[in-house]
Amino acid sequence: MTGTMRYACLRCGASYSADIAIDSRGCPACAGSAPANLMVVNDGGAAACAIQDDSLPSLWRYAFHLPCPAESAVSLGEGLTPLMPAPAIGAQLGVPRLFIKNEACNPTWSHKDRFSTMAVSFAKASGASVVATASSGNAGASLAAYAARAGLNCIVATFSGAAGPMLAQIRKYGATLVPFAHKEDRWRFIAEGVERFGWFATSPCHAPVVGSHPVGIAGYKTLAYEIVEQLNGAAPDWCALPVCYGDALIGLWQGFEDLFHRGEITSLPRLIAAEVHGSLAAALAGESDRIPDMTARFKPLAGSIGATRSTYQALKALRQSRGVAVPVGNDGLIELQEEFARKEGVLAELSSVTPLVAIADLRRRNVIGASDRVVVIATGSGLKDFDRSTAPDGEEPSFPSVRDAWNYLARGGARQAFKAFG
Ligand SMILES: Cc1ncc(COP(=O)(O)O)c(C=O)c1O
Ligand SMILES: [Zn+2]
């Protein structure tokens, strides 16, 4: 960051010094009315182009606009993920100009690495020795990896029901996994760790949730910087992503706003939040700054975005971008995941498939136009929740001879068998 850093409230604009310890209750002035997160503000920072150093093989090439200097980066080579046209699945959804930003190409296979590289770099530079998060999976796995890289201890408080492959991943990085039967107990545990032992908490640990640490959120701005570069200097018409607390949503929006204010793009995209239980859709339908806590009517397959209440920061990004929130259920999600994999070669986590459902819905209602350029942020890898998206291992056929294999294909034994014969 080239200017001077401070924090400001996303809702009331109150300003706070960069020296304060971030409390996960967010802005003290808003706490009693409509709780809201703080954001990083850069006063008098670089007005020019987003890239600081083209040669850095990670999102740290944008360090001019990030709250940590590149010299103190704890990096695993995150960011700079591919943006690919996806014409086949696009045609199916009625949006031929569809692009996929494949965040599974990050070091821990999800977009959370953009957050963790910033948060851990900042925590280390601030002298922390323990970083902690209450996470359902991807955030914990990512924080565990960056803590390992930084030589810091990492505590991940999870709840029963988190996806197995992600829990295994967290353990492999050497983090201490602390599972709780009740989600809320994770927060109390982390809050006590902060109070008693000075842990650096990257996630929320108080209800109602306002979002995660603002320094980590600033890392998500790089999504917008990359997308605009990859579209040769243009912003898309729409940008869709799965949303839980909206950290990525507000970071992405602020990245596009940065570019707009610097004159690097001439239009801003509208944002699409694919959610599960519908708290953002309900909030958008009213005037209030409060996000309702919804009743969970089913157990979501998209577990990574399964919270019943989103945040003010997400609502703000949607309102400012004239965006839309679309609640997405379980029906057809696994089938769409498999179609996406078969048609485009991208195996996305179930939560990362939800924006495709949202886009199909918005296109049907003509909210998205047939020639609009739409970017989907596929936030995580399909390997992360295989225990939810695949049936338990059945008997795989094993052929005693080559002839038996040909007979099997000829009988149409495999779904794609006919392709074997050209
Ligand atoms: C794969 C994936 N996508 C999207 C999200 C939603 O992130 P956010 O809380 O920033 O809205 C998560 C959060 O855990 C996630 O793991
Ligand atoms: Zn405030």
pLDDT tens per residue across all 422 residues of the chain: 778 999 999 999 999 999 999 999 999 999 988 999 999 999 877 666 667 777 788 999 999 999 999 999 999 999 999 999 999 999 999 999 999 999 999 999 999 999 999 999 999 999 999 999 999 799 999 999 999 999 999 999 998 777 889 999 999 999 999 999 888 899 999 999 999 999 999 999 999 999 999 999 999 999 999 999 999 999 999 999 999 999 999 999 999 999 999 999 999 999 999 999 999 999 999 999 999 999 999 999 999 999 999 999 999 999 999 999 999 999 999 999 999 999 999 999 999 999 999 999 999 999 999 999 999 999 999 999 988 888 776 666 688 999 988 888 888 766 554 455 55
C-alpha–C-alpha distance, residues 261 and 236, integer Å: 16
52 in Cβ contact with 61 (< 8 Å): yes
Helix 221-230 vs helix 247-261: angle between axes, to the nearest 10 degrees?
Answer: 60
Which residue has the CA at smallest separation from atom 1 of ligand 1? 380
3-state secondary structure of 23: coil
Question: How many angstroms does the Cα of residue 23 sit away from the middle of ligand 2?
Answer: 13
Instruction: Look at the block and give the residue holding tokens 């936030």.
Output: 379
Q: Nearest to residue 383, comparing CAs of 337, 351, 348?
A: 348
| Ligand 1 centroid – CA 286 distance (Å) | 24
- Quote the tokens at residue 35: 């709780």
CA of 374 to the centre of ligand 2 (A): 33
Alpha helices in 100-182, H assignment, sequence order: 112-125, 138-150, 164-172
- DSSP structural state of residue 117: H
Q: Which atom of ligand 1 is nearest to the CA of 244?
A: 11
Sorted by sequence, the CB contacts under 8 Å of residue 82 that are 6+ apart come out as: 101, 102, 105
Assess contact for 228 and 329: CB atoms under 8 A: no
Ligand 1: centre distance to CA 421 (Å): 42
| Adjacent-strand bridge partners of 164 | none
Nearest ligand 1 atom to alpha carbon 110: 1
- Residue 39 near residue 20 (C-beta atoms within 8 A): no
pTM, two decimal places = 0.95
Write down the H helix ranges in 198-246: 214-218, 221-230
Q: Ligand 1 atom 13: the closest Cα is on which residue? A: 304
Stretch (H or E) spanning 193: helix 183-197
User: Which residue, by CA, sits nearest to atom 3 of ligand 1?
Assistant: 379
Question: Which of 192, 221, 216 shows the shortest CA–CA distance to 51?
Answer: 221
Cα 243 from Cα 291, distance rounded (Å): 14
Provide the 10 A C-beta neighbour count for residue 202.
33
The residue type at 410 = A
d(CA 75, CA 114): 10
Supply the DSSP symbol for 365: T
Out of 241, 244, 333, 377, give the residue to mutate to test ligand 1, the one with the largest number of ligand atoms within 8 Å of its CB. 244
Per DSSP, what are the bridge partners of residue 179? 158
pLDDT at site 49? 65
Ligand 1, CB within 6 Å, residue ranges: 110, 136, 138-139, 242-249, 304-305, 349, 351-352, 379-380
Residue 366, sorted as left (phi over 0), alpha (psi -120 to 50) or beta, turns out to be left
Tokens of 407: 């007979």
Query: How many C-beta atoms surround the C-beta of residue 410 within 10 A?
Result: 12
Dist CA 332 CA 202 (whole Å): 34
For ligand 1, atom 12, the nearest C-alpha belongs to: 304
In 75-137, DSSP assigns E strands to 83-85, 98-102, 130-134
Measured in Å, residue 13 CA sits from the centre of ligand 2 at: 6
Question: Closest-lying ligand to the alpha carbon of 38?
Answer: 2
User: Which of 109, 221, 254, 379 maximizes ligand 1 atoms within 8 Å of its Cβ, making it the mutation to test the pocket?
Assistant: 379
User: From atom 4 of ligand 1, which residue's Cα is the shortest distance away?
Assistant: 242
CA 29-34-40 angle, 5° bins: 60
What is the residue with the minimal CA distance to atom 10 of ligand 1?
247
CA 350 to ligand 1 center in whole angstroms: 11
Q: What's the pLDDT score for residue 191? A: 97
Structure tokens at 408: 């099997």
Give domain limits for the chain. Answer: 83-106+216-389
Q: In the sheet that 153-159 helps form, which strands lie side by side, from edge to edge? A: 176-180, 153-159, 130-134, 200-201
Upper half-sphere CA count for residue 115 (Cβ side, 13 Å): 30
Please name the CATH architecture into which domain 83-106+216-389 falls.
Answer: 3-Layer(aba) Sandwich (3.40)
Q: How far is CA 105 from the centre of its chain?
A: 13
- Helix, strand, or coil (residue 294): coil
Return the pLDDT at 418: 47
C-beta separation of 202 from 245 below 8 A: no
**CB 292, CB 282: distance < 8 Å:** yes
Cα Rg, the chain, nearest whole Å: 22
Atom of ligand 1 nearest to the CA of 115: 10
Going from the Cα of 136 to the center of ligand 2, the distance in angstroms, rounded, reads: 28
H helices of 262-410, in order, are 279-285, 312-320, 333-344, 350-364, 386-389, 402-410
Beta-carbon contacts of 345 under 8 Å, excluding residues fewer than 6 positions away, are none
Task: Name the closest ligand to CA 245.
Answer: 1
